[in-house]
Structure 1
């Protein structure tokens, strides 16, 4: 697991298959993730609340 500050953009080039999950802690809030796949489409997810998880997959 990698802990990143809010509003971080990260790139992973050459990854084959996988998923991206963003998990909130006890204090909650709102979270979202987006992953662009090779054909230019996006996989997106959002969630809110304590211990909420936004998970992007299918790439």
Structure 2
């Protein structure tokens, strides 16, 4: 897998997590810890995307 395709895949996963976070925040039964975990995963992906973008 090339670097650019890897970055594109990470961006897709980041967008998917963004959607999950928004949906979870609108659902009253979702645990705040679950939302925090999703946000943490999203931040890690963002940092990885930025790191890879700087090296290319």
TM class by shorter chain equals under 0.3
- Hey, which of these two has a bigger chunk of helix by percent? 2
Task: With the length of structure 1 as denominator, give the TM-score of the two structures.
Answer: 0.25
- Hey, which of these two has a bigger chunk of strand by percent? 1
